[in-house]
Chains A and B, each alone.
Chain A
Amino acid sequence: MAPGVGKTSAMLQAARKEQAEGVDIVVGCVNTHGSPDTNLLLVGLEQLAGRNGRLAVDALDAMNLDAALARAPRILLVDDLAQSNAAGARHVKRYQDVLELLDAGIDIYTTVNVQHFESRADAVRQITGIEVTQRIPDSLLDLADEIELIDLTPAALRKRLAEGKVHAPEGAEVAGNTFFRIGNLMALREMALRLTAEHVDHQLQDYMEVKRIAGPWKSGERLMVAVSPSPFSEEVIRWTRRMAYNLEAPWFAASIETSTRLTAAQREMLTKNLELVRTLGGEVVTAAGEDIVAGLLRLAQQRNATQIIVGRPLHTRLRDWLHGGSLVERLIQAGGTTDIYVVSGQKEATTRAPRPPFAITQSHSTWQDYGWAFVIVTCVTALLLAADLTVPWITYQAVGLISLLAVLLIAVYLGRGPALLAASASAVSWNYLFMHPRFTFAIAALEDIILFLLYFAIALFAGTLTARLRTRERQAQHNADRTTALYTLAHETATAVNMDDVLRTAVEQIGRVFDADVAIMLTHAGKLAKNVHPSSTLTVGDRDTGVATWTFENNRPAGRHTATLPQASAQFRPLSTPGRTVGVLGVRTRQPGRLSFDQEVLLETFTSQVALVIERELLDEAAEQAVMLRESERLYTTLLNSISHELRTPIATIAGAASSMLDPNTALNSTSRTELAVEIESAAERLNRLVENLLDMSRLDAGRLQLKVEWCDISDVAGVALRRLQGEIAGRPLTVVIEPAIPLVKMDFVLMEQVLVNLLDNACSYTPADSALDITAAAEGEWVRLDISDRGPGIPAHALERIFEKFYRVPGTAAGGTGLGLSICRGLVEAHGGTLTVQPRAGGGTTFSIRLPVSSPPPPVKEATL
């Protein structure tokens, strides 16, 4: 209700009760004002150390938020919710601390006086005449599970004041004279009671709804408040918020941009008003248009607003008449079924924001512009005077029209004010210098008087119109720029091929549009990555990284020009999509001031656009991975099926042969023992080849194959492969024909040897044991070609190309083999930039051809100096 009613004591008593029941409860900060009774209540309660290490009993000592988050008690006591934090704290206001604590799952006991609520601030000022500076959003009240009113009759409170139980005694004297008047206290008491009643009423309604009790008819109302750069808008906004709360209706604020240019002060007022809307939990909708009434009604219709709230205008009836009726009247006429509420503003409020002296011109034309206008008129007049004196057929009518042209040009380039100045100056000089009688202000003929008046009227009218057109054009240009910027961002990011591309584009676009350094930080394993993305133009120091992390974790903007951690060097905004936060955008504008409301809105749009694109990329990546995973699972299954047989055969051979050797009868026979040992050896070799193939396959598949290319002699490679297969080839007619002048080729010796071994081994396995094998190698232009040919039964035509597929085996071939060998061979040859093909051989059999590119001749060879 008011200071001194005993809020802190009541809170501490409640806390002691909880503690007695075993609840984990901690005092975050408390303001005892040195009262011994209150201090006594603190005894036995755990208290957090303040930011400077002392116990947080002094209100000015901001609560140690990090300590509170780390301690994470069940309930935390935070006295004086409306208090501002000391400089250097994370948040500007204490209620922001409380919001963060609530988000962290900590319940809060807190105290607040009724006059601190945003929506009551005007009423309090009207009643008590005191401006309340510490304000908190009404939405906090909605967050409260329980509200307990600490009520005291005004008389009792004044008695406590007199006894010195409120504040320090010397403060009480001063305070008692102003704030603690009986009338004020009664008003505050009523306000507190009413606020509590409203809230209880809501709780009751919620309860009835949950229990499905048919209650009073719920309004389907939606409120729209018109916000202008006027200082009264603030009151109108608060009024709307109160009404919306009482009606339990959603509300939003509408702002119409017209071609009328705002002064810096008006712009700031508008930004402030719209910020208030957001603080009170409303949404801001802006639209551009020349006619405010039409714009408001259009927005109301689009958004289904049932009630429009406007402030009562303060300008004169004359101006209303000039503008075709007052805004309110026209709104009521055109509004149809929409209810229109007109809220009156406070007269005194005007003194708070005096109109700037040149606001009347409603333009940003500077003194220089007026100067230029004057110079141009003077020059044109001087030229015309010179022409008039030398050229006889130039009449004063022609002079007037030429001057008129100059006025129009001034209107286009310099604005309305300079145009009016030019119109007046040229009219006067026209009269003085050119009209008869010349060099007097007198006008002789009646028609000249009419001409002069007409000139004046046309100059004023055309000048104003042209200037307005020009302004409107600029406005349109401005809107178009915004749309173009947004379109460019959307388009460029949409066409970007990967995440890096997207981020680079986003950083470029945002940096260009806002003239800022930009950083993007993405997530890594659910946390914000410590490093900015490489495309960023803004470097983020350690301290700012902390701010970015806070933004990420709380999904709220922080840093420069915000209410949270404002001392940071850049502003950080969460890149959030409806589902999650995908990262943080850091922006540091090169201009020192804060962004205008317009730009803020645009940046907000940019941010969400970038967030969406990032999420799209993330989803793409995830989808790609899922596909890869599925594919590899399929391969895995095929592989298992295929090789389990291949693995079992040699293992069975080895195990069987070994156990036979252990058998005493077989062991005595040295011939069978040798035969068994040979079996074991060949089975082991088969196993070894299988394992090598599998390893090669996995290296090829994983893309981890690294070629160790070196100059190699093809005949050398063939020789090594043949040597390895000595046993298999023995007994076959083998011819090796390698062109003597064949060039050295760059390749990985070991892998190419593996290819030849696989191909030769295949040839040995699938052709009769005494059939011929031929190896030929020759240079073919830019290529070196090596053929391995057999005289076997050949491969059926339909299977020729398929034999290089993984796990494919020609139907009807003997058991043994995984269908991996040829696929590996082709993979290895292609890794060298070559080709591996197969064709039937003339006269029966099959030829496998390897072609490898000859990159460049090797450097010359040098004799050793011995």
Chain B
Amino acid sequence: MTEGPHILIVDDEIQIRRFLRISLEANDYRVFEADSGDNALAQAVLHRPDVIILDMNLPDMSGVEVLRRLREWTTTPVVMLSVRAADLDKVSALDAGADDYLTKPFSTVELLARLRVALRHMTPQTPEPVLTFGDVQIDLARRLVTRGGEAVKLTPTEYALLRLLAQHPGRVLTHRQILSEVWGPQYVDELHYLRVYFGQLRQKLESNPALPKLIVTEPGVGYRLIAD
């Protein structure tokens, strides 16, 4: 494939679209643009992009609504753009099937990293038995976690949490997603479970638990395992 990935940018602000187009084209993306929800849905059908950047606030419908309609027929990764103080929107977008989000203003470096994660997620991968994050290694086959070569003793719940995040490296997982996956759907509101267990995980895995580098909290949204 000589041509880079196709990307659809949905935002009603022409300045945002223009700056994204310049940055993305410089990084070998083939860029399409849409300035409204309707237009976005039409373009998505027409060009079948590999990834979509979707703004939360569109003139004709909400970004979440566009996402919902996209998800009716495609699993193309979608990265949402939002403003701060719209945590609820972010969470509902993620729960509705968005792959990630970025808060405006954001840097190009951040954007490119998120897009890479999203695209990687789409390409079918042979499951690796051993995952490495910094000095932490997770051997999924043997259920063994090491840090700097030394075995770390994890409770079954801690291990389940770590494995869940590790299976989606670099991607944010919402509180609901994590609780539902690990404890079960009836526990989706027990946020304090996560606070306690992630605190313990950090104690065991982070070199400085007060300044976590591996398991990062996304305020009001969820958690993310840093991939690089």
- Which residues of A does B touch, CB under 8 Å? 681, 684-685, 688, 692, 695, 708, 710-713, 715-716, 718-720, 722-723, 736, 738, 744, 749-750, 753, 775, 858-859, 861-866
Chain A interface: which of B67-75, B115-123, B210-218? B210-218
Do A859 and B192 touch across chains, with their CB atoms under 8 A apart?
Answer: yes
Do B105 and A684 touch across chains, with their CB atoms under 8 A apart?
Answer: yes
Do A688 and B105 touch across chains, with their CB atoms under 8 A apart?
Answer: yes
Do A722 and B217 touch across chains, with their CB atoms under 8 A apart?
Answer: no
Do B160 and A720 touch across chains, with their CB atoms under 8 A apart?
Answer: no
Do B211 and A708 touch across chains, with their CB atoms under 8 A apart?
Answer: no
Do A711 and B183 touch across chains, with their CB atoms under 8 A apart?
Answer: no
Q: How far is the CA of A744 from the CA of B107 in the complex (A)?
A: 33
- Which chain A residues lie closer than 8 Å to B105 at the CB level? 684-685, 688
Q: How far is the CA of A236 from the CA of B105 in the complex (A)?
A: 89
- Which chain A residues lie closer than 8 Å to B196 at the CB level? 713, 744, 861
Do A681 and B107 touch across chains, with their CB atoms under 8 A apart?
Answer: yes
| A688-B105, A715-B199, A716-B217 known; A863-B155 Cβ under 8 A | yes
Q: How far is the CA of A708 from the CA of B187 in the complex (A)?
A: 19
**Of A711, A859, A866, which contacts B157 at CB under 8 A?**
A866
- Which chain A residues lie closer than 8 Å to B88 at the CB level? 708
| A688-B105, A719-B217 known; A713-B197 Cβ under 8 A | no
Q: Smallest CB-CB separation from B159: which chain A residue?
A: A866
The 6 closest A-B pairs by CB, nearest first: A711-B192, A736-B210, A864-B157, A858-B192, A713-B195, A750-B220
Do B183 and A750 touch across chains, with their CB atoms under 8 A apart?
Answer: no
**Of A711, A718, A750, A861, which contacts B87 at CB under 8 A?**
A750
**Of B107, B155, B212, B220, which contacts A719 at CB under 8 A?**
B212
Q: How far is the CA of A715 from the CA of B183 in the complex (A)?
A: 24
Tell me the smallest distance from the CB of B29 to a CB of chain A, in Å.
21
Do B195 and A744 touch across chains, with their CB atoms under 8 A apart?
Answer: yes
Tell me the smallest distance from the CB of B173 to a CB of chain A, in Å.
15
Q: Smallest CB-CB separation from A745: which chain B residue?
A: B195
8 interchain pairs, CB-CB under 8 A:
A681-B107, A711-B192, A713-B195, A713-B196, A719-B210, A744-B195, A750-B85, A861-B196
Q: How far is the CA of A617 from the CA of B211 in the complex (A)?
A: 56
Do A861 and B219 touch across chains, with their CB atoms under 8 A apart?
Answer: no
- Which chain A residues lie closer than 8 Å to B45 at the CB level? none
- Which chain B residues lie closer than 8 Å to A775 at the CB level? 210
* Apart from the given pairs A750-B87, A861-B192, A864-B182, 18 other A-B contacts in the complex at a CB distance below 8 Å: A685-B105, A711-B191, A712-B195, A713-B195, A713-B196, A713-B198, A713-B199, A719-B212, A720-B219, A722-B210, A722-B211, A750-B84, A858-B192, A861-B193, A861-B197, A862-B193, A863-B155, A865-B184
Query: What bracket does the count of chain B residues touching chain A fall in?
Result: 20 to 34
Q: How far is the CA of A716 from the CA of B210 in the complex (A)?
A: 7
Do B183 and A862 touch across chains, with their CB atoms under 8 A apart?
Answer: yes
Tell me the smallest distance from the CB of B109 to a CB of chain A, in Å.
11
B156 at interface by CB-CB < 8 Å:
yes
Tell me the smallest distance from the CB of A647 to a CB of chain B, in Å.
16
The 0/1 profile, CB within 8 Å of A marked 1, for residues 155-173 of chain B is 1110010000000000000
- Which chain A residues lie closer than 8 Å to B187 at the CB level? 862
Tell me the smallest distance from the CB of B100 to a CB of chain A, in Å.
17
Q: How far is the CA of A712 from the CA of B191 in the complex (A)?
A: 9
Most buried by B among A712, A716, A723, A863: A716
- Which chain B residues lie closer than 8 Å to A708 at the CB level? 87-88, 220
B97 at interface by CB-CB < 8 Å:
no
Near A by CB (< 8 A), chain B positions 172-228 give 182-184, 187, 190-193, 195-199, 208-212, 216-217, 219-220
Q: How far is the CA of A744 from the CA of B195 in the complex (A)?
A: 8
Most buried by B among A684, A859, A862, A863: A863
Do A863 and B157 touch across chains, with their CB atoms under 8 A apart?
Answer: yes
Do B197 and A715 touch across chains, with their CB atoms under 8 A apart?
Answer: no
Q: Smallest CB-CB separation from B209: which chain A residue?
A: A715
Tell me the smallest distance from the CB of A686 to a CB of chain B, in Å.
11
Tell me the smallest distance from the CB of A316 to a CB of chain B, in Å.
93
Q: How far is the CA of A685 from the CA of B212 in the complex (A)?
A: 23
Q: How far is the CA of A681 from the CA of B109 in the complex (A)?
A: 13
Do B211 and A723 touch across chains, with their CB atoms under 8 A apart?
Answer: yes
Tell me the smallest distance from the CB of B183 to a CB of chain A, in Å.
5
Tell me the smallest distance from the CB of A229 to a CB of chain B, in Å.
74
Most buried by B among A695, A713, A736: A713
Tell me the smallest distance from the CB of B177 to a CB of chain A, in Å.
14
Q: How far is the CA of A724 from the CA of B190 in the complex (A)?
A: 27
- Which chain B residues lie closer than 8 Å to A744 at the CB level? 192, 195-196
**Of B84, B198, B210, B220, which contacts A718 at CB under 8 A?**
B210
- Which chain A residues lie closer than 8 Å to B160 at the CB level? 864, 866
**Of A685, A749, A858, A861, which contacts B220 at CB under 8 A?**
A749
- Which chain A residues lie closer than 8 Å to B156 at the CB level? 863-864, 866
- Which chain B residues lie closer than 8 Å to A864 at the CB level? 156-157, 160, 182-184
Q: Smallest CB-CB separation from B161: which chain A residue?
A: A864
**Of A710, A722, A862, A865, which contacts B191 at CB under 8 A?**
A710
Q: How far is the CA of A684 from the CA of B220 in the complex (A)?
A: 24
Q: How far is the CA of A749 from the CA of B222 in the complex (A)?
A: 11
Do B211 and A750 touch across chains, with their CB atoms under 8 A apart?
Answer: no
Q: How far is the CA of A744 from the CA of B192 in the complex (A)?
A: 8
- Which chain B residues lie closer than 8 Å to A863 at the CB level? 155-157
- Which chain A residues lie closer than 8 Å to B219 at the CB level? 720, 749-750, 753
Q: How far is the CA of A315 from the CA of B195 in the complex (A)?
A: 100
Q: Smallest CB-CB separation from B208: which chain A residue?
A: A736
Q: Smallest CB-CB separation from A687: which chain B residue?
A: B105
- Which chain A residues lie closer than 8 Å to B212 at the CB level? 719, 723
Tell me the smallest distance from the CB of A610 to a CB of chain B, in Å.
45
Tell me the smallest distance from the CB of B153 to a CB of chain A, in Å.
15
Q: How far is the CA of A722 from the CA of B196 in the complex (A)?
A: 20
Tell me the smallest distance from the CB of A526 to a CB of chain B, in Å.
35
Q: How far is the CA of A718 from the CA of B192 in the complex (A)?
A: 17
Tell me the smallest distance from the CB of A435 to a CB of chain B, in Å.
99
Do B210 and A738 touch across chains, with their CB atoms under 8 A apart?
Answer: yes
Do B85 and A695 touch across chains, with their CB atoms under 8 A apart?
Answer: yes
- Which chain B residues lie closer than 8 Å to A681 at the CB level? 107
Q: How far is the CA of A719 from the CA of B217 in the complex (A)?
A: 8
Q: How far is the CA of A738 from the CA of B84 in the complex (A)?
A: 28
Q: How far is the CA of A718 from the CA of B210 in the complex (A)?
A: 7
Q: How far is the CA of A820 from the CA of B142 in the complex (A)?
A: 55
Tell me the smallest distance from the CB of A323 to a CB of chain B, in Å.
87
Q: How far is the CA of A681 from the CA of B208 in the complex (A)?
A: 29
- Which chain B residues lie closer than 8 Å to A710 at the CB level? 191
| A750-B85, A864-B183 known; A719-B195 Cβ under 8 A | no
Q: How far is the CA of A775 from the CA of B216 in the complex (A)?
A: 19
Do B199 and A716 touch across chains, with their CB atoms under 8 A apart?
Answer: yes
Q: How far is the CA of A744 from the CA of B191 in the complex (A)?
A: 11
Tell me the smallest distance from the CB of B202 to a CB of chain A, in Å.
8
Q: How far is the CA of A775 from the CA of B208 in the complex (A)?
A: 14
Do A736 and B85 touch across chains, with their CB atoms under 8 A apart?
Answer: no
- Which chain B residues lie closer than 8 Å to A685 at the CB level? 105
- Which chain A residues lie closer than 8 Å to B157 at the CB level? 863-864, 866
Tell me the smallest distance from the CB of B166 to a CB of chain A, in Å.
16
- Which chain B residues lie closer than 8 Å to A719 at the CB level? 209-212, 217
Do A711 and B85 touch across chains, with their CB atoms under 8 A apart?
Answer: no
Q: Smallest CB-CB separation from B197: which chain A residue?
A: A861
Q: Smallest CB-CB separation from B183: which chain A residue?
A: A864
Q: How far is the CA of A864 from the CA of B164 in the complex (A)?
A: 13
Do B195 and A711 touch across chains, with their CB atoms under 8 A apart?
Answer: yes
Do A736 and B220 touch across chains, with their CB atoms under 8 A apart?
Answer: no
- Which chain A residues lie closer than 8 Å to B209 at the CB level? 715, 719
Most buried by A among B105, B183, B184, B217: B217
- Which chain A residues lie closer than 8 Å to B216 at the CB level? 720, 723
Tell me the smallest distance from the CB of B112 to a CB of chain A, in Å.
16
- Which chain A residues lie closer than 8 Å to B208 at the CB level? 736
Tell me the smallest distance from the CB of A420 to a CB of chain B, in Å.
85
Q: How far is the CA of A723 from the CA of B217 in the complex (A)?
A: 10
Q: How far is the CA of A533 from the CA of B87 in the complex (A)?
A: 38
Do B192 and A716 touch across chains, with their CB atoms under 8 A apart?
Answer: no
Q: How far is the CA of A294 from the CA of B14 in the complex (A)?
A: 91
